[in-house]
Amino acid sequence: MLNSMPPEWSRRVRALPEFADTRQWNCLRHGRHSEVWRVTLASGATLIAKRGVGTEVREPQVYHDLLDPLALPHPTVFAALPDADAQILCAHAGGPATSRRRTSAQERMARRGTHDLRSACRRL
Protein backbone atom coordinates (compact mmCIF):
# COMPACT_ATOMS: atom_id res chain seq x y z
CA MET A 1 0.00 0.00 0.00
CA LEU A 2 1.31 3.43 -0.97
CA ASN A 3 0.18 6.80 0.35
CA SER A 4 1.14 8.53 -2.89
CA MET A 5 0.94 7.80 -6.58
CA PRO A 6 3.63 5.37 -7.81
CA PRO A 7 6.14 7.37 -9.90
CA GLU A 8 5.56 5.34 -13.09
CA TRP A 9 1.81 6.06 -12.86
CA SER A 10 2.15 9.85 -12.53
CA ARG A 11 3.01 10.24 -16.23
CA ARG A 12 0.31 7.74 -17.24
CA VAL A 13 -2.66 9.46 -15.58
CA ARG A 14 -1.51 13.06 -15.07
CA ALA A 15 -3.95 14.37 -17.69
CA LEU A 16 -6.95 12.77 -15.96
CA PRO A 17 -8.61 15.03 -13.37
CA GLU A 18 -10.02 11.99 -11.54
CA PHE A 19 -6.51 11.24 -10.25
CA ALA A 20 -5.73 14.78 -9.04
CA ASP A 21 -6.33 14.06 -5.34
CA THR A 22 -5.37 10.45 -4.61
CA ARG A 23 -4.75 9.33 -1.04
CA GLN A 24 -3.83 5.67 -1.31
CA TRP A 25 -2.71 3.16 -3.95
CA ASN A 26 -3.18 -0.58 -3.25
CA CYS A 27 -1.61 -3.01 -5.72
CA LEU A 28 -4.18 -5.73 -6.40
CA ARG A 29 -2.16 -7.58 -9.03
CA HIS A 30 1.20 -7.16 -10.68
CA GLY A 31 1.93 -9.78 -13.28
CA ARG A 32 3.48 -10.23 -16.68
CA HIS A 33 0.39 -9.11 -18.60
CA SER A 34 -1.33 -6.72 -16.22
CA GLU A 35 -0.89 -4.44 -13.27
CA VAL A 36 -4.01 -3.46 -11.30
CA TRP A 37 -4.30 -0.80 -8.57
CA ARG A 38 -7.22 0.24 -6.35
CA VAL A 39 -6.88 3.99 -5.88
CA THR A 40 -8.58 5.74 -2.97
CA LEU A 41 -9.42 9.41 -3.45
CA ALA A 42 -9.67 12.12 -0.79
CA SER A 43 -13.47 11.81 -1.01
CA GLY A 44 -13.26 8.12 -0.07
CA ALA A 45 -14.35 7.01 -3.56
CA THR A 46 -12.24 4.34 -5.24
CA LEU A 47 -10.98 3.94 -8.78
CA ILE A 48 -9.30 1.09 -10.58
CA ALA A 49 -6.17 1.78 -12.63
CA LYS A 50 -4.99 -1.06 -14.85
CA ARG A 51 -2.11 -1.41 -17.28
CA GLY A 52 -2.47 -4.34 -19.64
CA VAL A 53 -0.34 -5.81 -22.42
CA GLY A 54 -1.04 -8.51 -24.99
CA THR A 55 -4.66 -9.64 -24.99
CA GLU A 56 -5.37 -7.42 -21.96
CA VAL A 57 -5.23 -4.41 -24.32
CA ARG A 58 -8.64 -5.40 -25.69
CA GLU A 59 -10.44 -5.28 -22.33
CA PRO A 60 -12.30 -1.97 -22.94
CA GLN A 61 -13.49 -3.29 -26.30
CA VAL A 62 -14.74 -6.51 -24.67
CA TYR A 63 -16.75 -4.46 -22.16
CA HIS A 64 -18.26 -2.37 -24.94
CA ASP A 65 -18.82 -5.06 -27.58
CA LEU A 66 -19.78 -8.06 -25.44
CA LEU A 67 -20.84 -7.13 -21.93
CA ASP A 68 -22.81 -3.95 -22.69
CA PRO A 69 -25.17 -5.66 -25.20
CA LEU A 70 -25.75 -8.51 -22.72
CA ALA A 71 -26.47 -5.98 -19.94
CA LEU A 72 -23.93 -7.71 -17.69
CA PRO A 73 -22.25 -5.76 -14.89
CA HIS A 74 -18.71 -4.57 -15.46
CA PRO A 75 -16.54 -1.66 -14.35
CA THR A 76 -17.52 1.77 -15.62
CA VAL A 77 -14.54 2.76 -17.75
CA PHE A 78 -13.89 6.49 -17.90
CA ALA A 79 -10.55 6.41 -19.74
CA ALA A 80 -8.63 4.01 -21.96
CA LEU A 81 -5.25 5.37 -22.96
CA PRO A 82 -2.40 3.93 -25.03
CA ASP A 83 0.90 3.50 -23.14
CA ALA A 84 3.75 2.35 -25.42
CA ASP A 85 2.90 -1.32 -26.13
CA ALA A 86 0.19 -1.39 -23.45
CA GLN A 87 -3.24 0.01 -22.62
CA ILE A 88 -4.14 2.01 -19.53
CA LEU A 89 -7.70 1.40 -18.37
CA CYS A 90 -9.26 3.61 -15.68
CA ALA A 91 -12.60 2.69 -14.15
CA HIS A 92 -14.84 3.51 -11.25
CA ALA A 93 -14.59 0.74 -8.67
CA GLY A 94 -17.73 -1.22 -7.95
CA GLY A 95 -17.44 -1.06 -4.16
CA PRO A 96 -15.18 -1.85 -1.23
CA ALA A 97 -12.23 -4.12 -1.86
CA THR A 98 -13.71 -6.81 0.39
CA SER A 99 -17.16 -6.94 -1.16
CA ARG A 100 -17.87 -9.84 -3.48
CA ARG A 101 -21.28 -10.39 -4.90
CA ARG A 102 -22.62 -13.68 -6.17
CA THR A 103 -22.67 -14.12 -9.91
CA SER A 104 -25.74 -15.32 -11.72
CA ALA A 105 -25.82 -18.29 -14.08
CA GLN A 106 -26.22 -15.83 -16.98
CA GLU A 107 -23.06 -13.99 -15.92
CA ARG A 108 -21.08 -17.22 -15.56
CA MET A 109 -22.18 -18.35 -19.04
CA ALA A 110 -21.26 -14.98 -20.52
CA ARG A 111 -17.83 -15.07 -18.87
CA ARG A 112 -17.25 -18.57 -20.22
CA GLY A 113 -18.28 -17.39 -23.69
CA THR A 114 -15.93 -14.40 -23.40
CA HIS A 115 -13.11 -16.74 -22.37
CA ASP A 116 -13.82 -19.03 -25.34
CA LEU A 117 -13.90 -16.02 -27.68
CA ARG A 118 -10.56 -14.73 -26.36
CA SER A 119 -9.03 -18.20 -26.80
CA ALA A 120 -10.30 -18.37 -30.38
CA CYS A 121 -8.90 -14.89 -31.13
CA ARG A 122 -5.47 -15.90 -29.83
CA ARG A 123 -5.40 -18.88 -32.20
CA LEU A 124 -6.07 -16.69 -35.26
Residues 25-79 have pLDDT tens digits of 999 988 888 889 999 988 998 998 888 887 777 777 777 787 778 887 777 888 8
Q: Which residues pair with 30 in a beta bridge?
A: 35
The answer to whether residue 31 is domain-embedded is yes
The answer to whether residue 1 is domain-embedded is no
* pTM summary value: 0.66
The helix, strand and coil proportions of the chain, stated in percent and rounded to the nearest 5, come to 35, 35, 30
pLDDT of residue 105: 60
Judge whether residue 109 has pLDDT over 70: no
The answer to whether residue 2 is domain-embedded is no
pLDDT of residue 122: 63
Residue 90 structural domain: 7-123
Band of residue 96 on the pLDDT scale cut at 50, 70, 90: very low
CATH of residue 19's domain is 3.30.200.20
Judge whether residue 106 has pLDDT over 60: no
